[in-house]
Structure 1
């Protein structure tokens, strides 16, 4: 398919400006809510204590740190519920599941448990949309604002592009929602494909 974003350049936001803008927009999100598409299989998340433990090879420590954040996760999704909008995510997962994704899927499972519902689609399910390039990492607030996360070659978030064209945001939100509707619920996917995995070996 043609590039999902077309020729829209978006507005480049450096990270400090993006974080402030995202937080402001999130709590004023209206219908159809917050929708996110994650396509890349690998990221680096410096500053995330659990990821840093995982990156050092301390799998059990990283799992303990995820668990330690449970109460904050509960509060976060309770606040979203109080604000009256849905929070949905599509995660593309290719097989075999690489160590980073094995780690991330534990966090996504916790999100899913408290209201940030996640569904999984396979690389094969999105291949028909990627004849020109991989799908972008995008997320929408209602139909008014969309962000594209842009990562460096090292997998670290470098900057963000913001889009405010209503037609573009609406089209992309609908695209994510369509993928969500054909995706596998995360809890089911996790039980079948993630729970049986041994702790990953870091290179």
Structure 2
């Protein structure tokens, strides 16, 4: 019998788990193939405090210091955000944030606010709430579309997306989902968070 996965080592075991490593193109094709066919809840965990996103026009404007254009591009992308969401899927995003907010997060939370308006279920959780789960390193970046399928999204040290790992291990994924559900329950819905904690300027 396999050892039961404790809550304090779920994420360590995910990093150690066997899986199929794919480059960015392979990962995107694989995940979106699953996403088009799935129904139910799609879980997304975001822990890193910076991602390099040159494929986003708004991110490029932010990186160039053109704050007004960056915000205008977020607003203009509302139809794109709606199109990203499947009517058969509820996307629950758990965004871990460090305080004070980094300039990147000040930008990204504005994007997530627009995505929430489009229908995404995003919540924010202070990093202090997950310190006990980060014994060796920060939590991984995860997408979980099913109880027997998980993707660890891979980034390089500069925050660029380089691919993902496809993991099939129900005895690991199920306790991870239980833990994510608990953390999501502790988190604050994004609209309420922004009402309470107005975002700083994008500097």
TM-score scaled by length of structure 2: 0.90
TM-fit CA distance, 1:167: 2.3
CA 1:108 to 1:194, structure 2 compared with 1: closer, same or farther past 3 Å?
same
SS at match of 2:197: helix
- Aligned residue among 139, 143, 150 for 1:135: 139
Q: Retained in 1: the 8 A contact 2:57–2:70? A: yes
What is the alpha-carbon distance in structure 2 between the residues aligned to residue 62 and residue 97 of structure 1? Answer: 18
Match of 1:4 in 2: 11
1:81-116 per-residue CA deviation (whole Å, 9 max, x = no partner) reads: 2xx232101000111011100000011111112221
Match of 2:196 in 1: 192
Q: 1:94 and 2:95 equivalent?
A: no
Q: 1:111 and 2:115 equivalent?
A: yes
CA 1:16 to 1:136, structure 2 compared with 1: closer, same or farther past 3 Å?
same
SS at match of 1:194: coil
What is the alpha-carbon distance in structure 1 between the residues aligned to residue 18 and residue 83 of structure 2? Answer: 36
TM-score scaled by length of structure 1: 0.90
Q: Retained in 1: the 8 A contact 2:10–2:176? A: no
What is the alpha-carbon distance in structure 1 between the residues aligned to residue 116 and residue 10 of structure 2? Answer: 29
TM-fit CA distance, 1:59: 0.9
Q: 1:166 and 2:170 equivalent?
A: yes
What is the alpha-carbon distance in structure 2 between the residues aligned to residue 194 and residue 151 of structure 1? Answer: 29
1:49-104 per-residue CA deviation (whole Å, 9 max, x = no partner) reads: 11011011111111111111111222333xx12xx232101000111011100000
**Structure 2 alignment gaps of length 5 or more:** 1-7
Q: Retained in 1: the 8 A contact 2:93–2:122? A: yes
Structure 1 residue ranges, 4+ long, deviating more than 3 angstroms after superposition: none
Q: CA RMSD, aligned part only?
A: 1.5
What is the alpha-carbon distance in structure 2 between the residues aligned to residue 48 and residue 189 of structure 1? Answer: 24
SS at match of 2:65: coil
